[in-house]
């Protein structure tokens, strides 16, 4: 008897990380059934044209509308990756806490009783937690770490205390706690700023490298923070981490309980990020003005240094994320091809 095909669902697959994941999964559709959800009335046609073997389902994660149809039409999901964006910010009210902890618990889990769920929080993204009765394993991706760690030192390790400085961070920590308590198998990944090439169907949100390239190309002076440090991670490295964990669990079925930092190897400020973009594209560095983050009132607290130690990641998965400058080059090369 032929082995049953595994079904993979990318929740919010029309978003930035979601589209990159779908593109990586598409070559495997000869042995996997891959689908994604979208919030708009119709899925992006460019995405459907580029990935004709991938199915699309409309779903509203706030109300749960459409999730039962996925279960009925697509079948039992083996691997669920929530990447759906929201209009989140670091100053979210207490309702953010409930959304972080309960979205999949109340909605996705009830519609798709799958053994493995990926839970991902990208930059300015809220995702969800999972019900332990329905889910055997959950992989939660929590990004950016800026709201998990306090930001008072460099290269945080996974075992360092989490002291979030705003409500967004508190909701992330609560979601992690929920997963650890409710799920017998889990991997919690904390990532940093995710950057890389634009998607097949261009997303509306501003992408960091593309935005810096746009403003620097105009030749006008632009201010960049010199005292907020992050470890930006190239989007394809992020995808490789997700798929590596999924492949390991799906093939071996071993119990998983792990927390990993997922960032790039470089601790860089916004200023240094802009300088890398200028170097790669040959822009005048004199247009880059160095300023302190304290010169701008953003209305919410933001930690200074949330750079991460990724030793555990590289040792466990043998994945070495590329340097920031190489990632910038790869971004421009991919968009030029």
Closest by Cα among 147, 31, 131 to 80: 131
Angle (nearest 5°) at CA 305 between 301 and 309: 135
Give the list of residues 6+ apart from residue 131 with CB closer than 8 angstroms, or none: 104, 105, 109, 110, 182
Question: For residue 187, what pLDDT band results from cuts at 50, 70 and 90?
Answer: confident
Classified by CATH at the fold level, domain 6-198+231-265 comes out as Rossmann fold (3.40.50)
SS3 of residue 236 by DSSP = helix
Averaged pLDDT for residues 76-105: 50
- Please write the tens of the pLDDT for every residue from 141-172: 444 444 678 788 999 999 998 887 777 677 77
Tokens read off for 22:
């779908």
9 contacts: CB under 8 Å, gap ≥ 6:
34, 35, 36, 37, 70, 74, 77, 79, 80, 81, 112, 114
Which residue would you say has higher pLDDT here, 56 or 141? 56
Q: Which helix (H) or strand (E) holds 208?
A: helix 208-217
d(CA 221, CA 215): 9
Confidence bin at 134 (pLDDT 50/70/90): very low
pLDDT in tens, 4-44: 777 888 888 899 988 999 999 999 888 889 999 898 889 99
Domain ranges of the chain: 6-198+231-265
Q: In what order do the strands lie in the sheet with 32-38?
A: 55-58, 32-38, 6-11, 79-82, 116-121, 137-142, 185-191, 257-262
Dist CA 265 CA 323 (whole Å) = 6
Q: Which residue from 313, 306, 324, 320 is spatially nearest to 123, judged by alpha carbons?
A: 306
- Asked if residue 125 has pLDDT above 70, the reply is no
Run of H or E residues at 98: helix 95-103
For residue 99, pLDDT over 50 is answered with no
For residues 140 and 191, which has the higher predicted lDDT (pLDDT)?
Answer: 191
Q: Looking at the predicted structure, is the pLDDT value of residue 120 above 80?
A: no
Give the residue-averaged pLDDT of 313-330.
Answer: 96
**Locus of tokens 């995702």:** 127
More confident residue, 172 or 84: 172
Residues 219-227 have a mean pLDDT of: 95
Amino acid 250: pLDDT: 62
Q: Which token pair is 234?
A: 């190239």
> How many Å separate Cα 127 from the centre of its chain?
9
> Which tops the pLDDT comparison, 308 or 80?
308
Q: What is the DSSP letter of 322?
A: P
Decide: residue 277, CB within 10 A, 0-12 exposed, 13-18 middle, 19+ buried.
buried
Give Cβ neighbours of residue 43 (< 8 Å, ≥ 6 apart).
Answer: 14, 36, 56, 58
Distance CA 246, CA 228 (A): 33
Confidence of residue 182 (pLDDT cuts 50, 70, 90): low
Q: Are 70 and 79 in contact (CB under 8 A)?
A: no
pLDDT confidence of residue 64: 66
């Amino acid at each position: 008897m032929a082995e049953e095909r595994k079904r993979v669902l990318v929740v919010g697959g029309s978003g930035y990380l979601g589209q990159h994941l779908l593109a990586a999964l598409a070559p495997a559709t000869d042995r996997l059934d891959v689908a994604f959800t979208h919030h708009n009335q119709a899925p992006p046609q460019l995405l459907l044209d580029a990935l004709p073997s991938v199915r699309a389902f409309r779903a509203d994660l706030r109300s749960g509308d459409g999730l039962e149809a996925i279960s009925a039409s697509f079948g039992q999901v083996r691997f669920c990756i929530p990447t759906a964006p929201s209009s989140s910010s670091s100053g979210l009210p207490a309702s953010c806490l409930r959304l972080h902890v309960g979205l999949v618990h109340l909605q996705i889990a009830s519609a798709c009783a799958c053994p493995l769920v990926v839970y991902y929080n990208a930059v300015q993204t809220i995702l969800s937690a999972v019900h332990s009765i329905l889910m055997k394993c959950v992989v939660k991706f929590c990004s950016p770490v800026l709201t998990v760690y306090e930001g008072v030192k460099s290269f945080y390790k996974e075992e360092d205390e989490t002291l979030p400085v705003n409500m967004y961070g508190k909701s992330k920590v609560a979601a992690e706690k929920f997963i650890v308590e409710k799920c017998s198998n889990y991997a919690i990944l904390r990532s940093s700023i995710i950057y890389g090439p634009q998607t097949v169907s261009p997303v509306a949100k501003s992408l960091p490298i593309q935005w810096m390239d746009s403003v620097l190309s105009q030749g006008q002076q632009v201010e960049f923070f010199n005292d907020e440090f992050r470890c930006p991670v190239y989007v394809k490295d992020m995808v490789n981490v997700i798929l590596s964990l999924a492949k390991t669990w799906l093939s071996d079925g071993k119990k998983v309980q792990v927390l990993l930092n997922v960032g790039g190897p470089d601790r860089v400020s916004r200023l240094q990020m802009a300088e890398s973009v200028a170097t790669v594209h040959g822009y005048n560095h004199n247009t880059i003005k160095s300023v302190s983050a304290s010169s701008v009132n953003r209305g919410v607290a933001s930690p200074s240094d949330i750079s991460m130690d990724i030793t555990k990641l590289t040792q466990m998965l043998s994945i070495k994320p590329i340097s920031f400058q190489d990632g910038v080059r790869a971004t421009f090369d991919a968009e030029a091809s």
